[in-house]
Homo-oligomer: A and B are copies of this chain.
Amino acid sequence: MHLLVMSKKHPKTRKQTGLAPGTMVFTGTRKVDEVKVHYLKYNTTEIFETEYTSHDAVKVIPVDQELVDWYDVRGLHDTDLIESIGKSFEVHPLVLEDIVDVRQRPKYDEYPLGNFIIARALSFDKDLREIIIEQVAIYFNKGLLLSFQENKSDLFIDIRNRLRTSGGKVRSRGADYLCYALIDALVDNYFVVLDEIEDEIDTIEQRLLIDPDEKIKIDIHHLKRETLKVRKSITPLRDSVSRFSNSDSPYVDQGTELYLRDLNDHVIQIVDISETYRDVLNGLQDLYLSEVSNRMNQVMKVLTVVTTIFVPLSFLTGLYGMNFVDIPELQNPNGYFYLLGAMVLIFLALVVYFKRKKWF
């Protein structure tokens, strides 16, 4: 099932128990061959970027409070590399433990030396018709932002491009605004996923109203689970963003608050939409069940009408197929035709009766 963690394609690594708090154990699936660290340094006027692939090559440049240093780590299996990065920037061990444990619930925590936020990137796999969940962890303080994701694909390509074209607002602000921008990019994607779900719901509703088949109940069940994934990803994010926006941490600038409030509105909107989808799916399920009952009724009526009409008629034929020595009707030369006539009358009477009952 791997409900809230990843696609069915990947087996799940389970965390060992009994480890000391702060012990780093990668609980995901190795999705990249080699961990890549993309490094980007900017302020309003300058921008510099590079990419490290080798372990030793990651050079930690002392943080310059005038600039924002963004290390974007893609691939989490190399816990040594992540630990060494963590140590360079004095990241708390509990943060490092959470970064590599990809089964985290979205959350926002403030540590003495930096703030830490975990969110989920959602994407809709059109082939599997399934939502793919990827965990994204972001740690930031005054001039530093570390982001961690499992895949090679660049989730934040749009933001990187906005950074590259000088003049964007993000260039003139600190790491807290960059963190907001990253989360905002993730949340924007939720709307895309919800649109896909809405399309699926539309399709199911059409099928249900026009020609309901048996697969519908499985499709509704499947869609309810995918919607549950969205809900379970966004509900804790709501609390996180709300606490982020009300933060009085020294690493969160007052001016970012308006943007975080706007992000908060979007998150609440997603919660709202996903709850609406749940309600609609429950409604469709009820409708499907009514439909099944109705069809059963339909089948039963056919059976009953056919039986009720022919069983008495067959009884009559049986009656006159008996071999008693003296059945007076049988001797009547027109007996057969009288009986045929009676049968037609019975038949018509029953048909009229059932018509009136609207049974067919």
Question: Would B302 and A303 count as touching, CB distance under 8 A?
Answer: no
Question: Would A17 and B192 count as touching, CB distance under 8 A?
Answer: yes
CB-defined contacts of A21 to chain B, threshold 8 Å: 169, 181, 184, 259, 262
Interface presence of A86 (CB below 8 A)? no
Interface presence of A214 (CB below 8 A)? yes
Which A276-301 residues have a C-beta within 8 angstroms of B?
276-277, 279-280, 283-297, 299-301
Q: Mark A215-253, 1 if CB is under 8 A from B, else 0.
A: 001100100110010001000100000000000000000
CB-defined contacts of A308 to chain B, threshold 8 Å: 302-303, 306
Main secondary structure of the interface of A (DSSP, over half): helix
CB-defined contacts of A104 to chain B, threshold 8 Å: 265, 269
CB-defined contacts of A334 to chain B, threshold 8 Å: 326
Number of this chain's copies in the assembly equals 5
Interface presence of A62 (CB below 8 A)? no
Interface presence of A162 (CB below 8 A)? yes
Interface segment, A31-39, A63-71, A76-84, A312-320? A312-320
Considering the chains assembled together, what is the distance between the CA atoms of A221 and B209 in angstroms? 11
Interface segment, A48-56, A105-113, A129-137? A105-113
Question: Would B312 and A311 count as touching, CB distance under 8 A?
Answer: no
Considering the chains assembled together, what is the distance between the CA atoms of A22 and B168 in angstroms? 11
Question: Would A317 and B322 count as touching, CB distance under 8 A?
Answer: yes
Interface presence of A20 (CB below 8 A)? yes
Given A191-B15, A280-B3: A258 in contact with B111 (beta carbons within 8 A): yes
